[in-house]
Chains A and B, each alone.
Chain A
Amino acid sequence: MDDQKHLEHEQNKPEDAERSTENPEEMKQSEENSTEMKIAEKKEIEPKKPEVPKKKLEKGPTKKRASIGKGSILVEPIKRRSFFSWLTLAWVAFTAATGTFFGMMLRFMFPNVLFEPKQTFKAGYPDDYTIGEVTTSLKEKYGVWIIRDTEHIYALSVVCTHLGCTPNWLQNERKFKCPCHGSGFRKSGINFEGPAPRPLERYKIVLADDGQILIDKTKKFAYEKGQWSDSESYLVV
């Protein structure tokens, strides 16, 4: 290796000599402006290019030998047929690897155990809820607020319609307030401050056969689409 370096060094030397002969011209240019100095630098690099094929030629005879470790072996030229069989093998391996990867990705989407609360659940009897209050006890487990006003009970989604943070119910201020970007919602779910573009969504709420409230989170009702007038979006008490 050291010998090679030495050789290359010697090869470069005449080039350096060329540079120094070119320099007087460049000096004149560079005195004018530093931008032209850069162009001049480019010029310096250019003469190097023709050298590349030279080096290749010199290295030519040694190229047949591929070195592995200390010794070296002769590489047999690959025949056309064996090349195709290698190509087939490579493609099969590639397809198999990619297939396995995407198969595992797909499997990942269907976990064995799902730590999610049920989408449909019973939330006690209507009389459990006081009139005019927001019930926050189901927020952590099921992700709903249940609100009872004088005539209705409805279930509000706890997902802010701006970017999906979880707002907090501020009892003193009588509003839901999102800690991420400051969106505010009234008790009814209507957005009135901050950037939230839509009111909070309501979930399907009905009475089960045993008289308990049944909430179905898979069905949502959006105010801006006029769905809050749907009889399933509230419970008359």
Chain B
Amino acid sequence: MDLIKSVINTLASPTILFTLIIVTFFFIFPLNDWFYRWNKRLKLDSFWTNRGGIKMFIILLVFFAFGLFDENFRLIVLKPDNVPIVGLIFLVAFFTWLSMKQAVDNDVHIENNENVNEYSDPDDKVLTWPDLVYIELIALVLCTVLLIVWSIGLQAPLEEPANPTLSPNPAKAPWYFLGLQEMLVYFDPWIAGVLFPSLMIVGLMAIPYLDTNKKGVGYYSFKQRMMAVSLYMFGWLVLWVLLIIIGTFLRGPNWNFFGPFEYWDLHKLQPLTNINLSEYVYIIWFSTGMPDNILLREIWGILLILGYFLILPPLFAKTWLKNLYNRLGNFRYSVFIILILFALSMPIKMYLRWMVNLKYIVAIPEYFFNI
């Protein structure tokens, strides 16, 4: 028992958890034909069958049932704030499975030159009233019932009046903002709190203009739009939902990482002494001491950032994104790749923080500019 718990605790440490998920993710959601072949070979598409779905459900259920026997796990999972997140885990898993099942099903139909499941006779029409309105009414009644039962059954997590000189420990954002709060650990507030959220919204709005693939409109399919689905799922499942789950269950007092079965020790010591890139360059590598000129001090970080955004896009366009570049054209490709690079900068910065304790690549606190 304790062995299993300590194994899970170790696996839940951010470096291992993130590496495991990122490595396996694109085999489950293949990005291109190479990954797709491996997906088939490893039979990972068996997730998206009835049997696979039931298996996933049972595994999740067993994990939570097993966890509830543990005092620390029970304390966090059954906290009224966190109950919706447990629901979210099951719901996200279910809807991912549901859509992928239909998509994979349709892929087979398309391969056999059959009609997709969503195909309907254009003459066959359904009436708004009563067909749609009845369903909406039933959904509305059920949701109301659920909310009433929920609000009676679980105490609202209200706390004492706010006090500006006393932040609760840990101070957690509402669950839907925990992904943003996790980002704020690795970035300056203006990046993680302003730039990234705006880019997420702009990026989502840009999808119909960037993705001009006419296939898959009005029906589920995976193979016809493999890259679009997999990239989106990476952003949604890994960079958003996973961060919410980490923020809810794995972040404890003083915003330290805790395994799911670990006691939330207020005095857990985690050596987190972070160093800026300029300090790495001038103090550790050159051992000359920091130069006084700000620009000279931060030039390495600035060059690195410029290189990331200016050199990588044309490099990718010439190499393994050649087809995409030809299809999208210059402007669309540039917007697409810049958005992707911004999204990727998240896990990159997280790894840099975890592995080499890098605080900021460009650190100009004098002008509130840190990257």
Indicate if the CB atoms of B189 and A163 lie closer than 8 Å.
yes
Indicate if the CB atoms of A168 and B169 lie closer than 8 Å.
yes
Q: Which of A23, A37, A143, A166 contacts B167 (CB 8 A)?
A: A166
Indicate if the CB atoms of A180 and B273 lie closer than 8 Å.
no
Q: Which residue of A lies closest to B115 (CB)?
A: A34
Q: Which residue of A lies closest to B215 (CB)?
A: A35
Indicate if the CB atoms of A38 and B217 lie closer than 8 Å.
yes
Query: B2 on the interface (CB 8 Å rule)?
Result: no
Indicate if the CB atoms of B118 and A165 lie closer than 8 Å.
no
Indicate if the CB atoms of A162 and B122 lie closer than 8 Å.
no
Query: A128 on the interface (CB 8 Å rule)?
Result: no
Which B residues are CB-close (under 8 A) to A140? 163, 165-166
- Cα-based distance from A34 to B163 in the complex (angstroms): 59
- Cα-based distance from A74 to B180 in the complex (angstroms): 60
Indicate if the CB atoms of A34 and B123 lie closer than 8 Å.
no
- Cα-based distance from A118 to B189 in the complex (angstroms): 29
Which A residues are CB-close (under 8 A) to B171? 165, 179-180
Stretch at the interface among B143-151, B307-315, B319-327, B358-366: B358-366
- Cα-based distance from A226 to B166 in the complex (angstroms): 29
Q: Which of B123, B165, B193, B219 contacts A163 (CB 8 A)?
A: B193
Mark each residue of chain A from 119 to 149: 1 if its CB lies under 8 Å from any CB of chain B, else 0.
Answer: 0000000000000000000011001000000
Query: A189 on the interface (CB 8 Å rule)?
Result: no
Q: Which of A27, A34, A165, A195 contacts B119 (CB 8 A)?
A: A34
Query: A40 on the interface (CB 8 Å rule)?
Result: yes
Which A residues are CB-close (under 8 A) to B219? 34
Indicate if the CB atoms of A178 and B267 lie closer than 8 Å.
no
Query: A192 on the interface (CB 8 Å rule)?
Result: yes
- Cα-based distance from A23 to B122 in the complex (angstroms): 9
- Cα-based distance from A61 to B98 in the complex (angstroms): 56
Mark each residue of chain A from 167 to 209: 1 if its CB lies under 8 Å from any CB of chain B, else 0.
Answer: 1101011000111111010000000111101100000000000
Query: A26 on the interface (CB 8 Å rule)?
Result: yes
Query: B187 on the interface (CB 8 Å rule)?
Result: yes
Indicate if the CB atoms of A197 and B365 lie closer than 8 Å.
yes
Query: B301 on the interface (CB 8 Å rule)?
Result: no
Indicate if the CB atoms of A193 and B255 lie closer than 8 Å.
no
Which A residues are CB-close (under 8 A) to B167? 165-168, 178-180
Mark each residue of chain B from 244 to 272: 1 if its CB lies under 8 Å from any CB of chain A, else 0.
Answer: 00000000011110000000000101001
Which A residues are CB-close (under 8 A) to B157? none
Near B by CB (< 8 A), chain A positions 73-121 give none
Indicate if the CB atoms of A179 and B168 lie closer than 8 Å.
yes
Which A residues are CB-close (under 8 A) to B184? 162-163, 180-181, 195
Q: How many residues of chain A have a CB within 8 Å of chain B?
A: 38
Indicate if the CB atoms of B217 and A225 lie closer than 8 Å.
no
Query: B214 on the interface (CB 8 Å rule)?
Result: yes
Near B by CB (< 8 A), chain A positions 21-46 give 23, 26-27, 30, 34-35, 37-38, 40-41
Query: B185 on the interface (CB 8 Å rule)?
Result: yes
Indicate if the CB atoms of B218 and A35 lie closer than 8 Å.
yes
Query: A224 on the interface (CB 8 Å rule)?
Result: yes
- Cα-based distance from A163 to B255 in the complex (angstroms): 14
Selected A-B contacts with CB under 8 Å, 13 pairs: A30-B122, A35-B217, A35-B218, A140-B163, A165-B171, A166-B165, A166-B167, A192-B274, A193-B273, A194-B255, A195-B184, A197-B360, A197-B365
Q: Which 7 A-B pairs have the closest CB atoms?
A: A182-B255, A193-B272, A179-B169, A198-B365, A165-B167, A224-B365, A166-B167
Interface residues of A (CB under 8 A from B): 23, 26-27, 30, 34-35, 37-38, 40-41, 139-140, 143, 158, 162-163, 165-168, 170, 172-173, 177-182, 184, 192-195, 197-198, 224-225
Interface residues of B (CB under 8 A from A): 115-116, 118-119, 122-123, 163-171, 181, 184-189, 193, 214-215, 217-219, 253-256, 267, 269, 272-274, 359-360, 363, 365-366, 368, 370
Q: Given A140-B163, A165-B171, list of 17 further CB < 8 A pairs? A: A26-B122, A27-B122, A27-B123, A38-B217, A165-B167, A166-B167, A168-B169, A178-B255, A179-B169, A179-B171, A179-B254, A181-B185, A182-B185, A184-B272, A192-B273, A193-B272, A197-B188
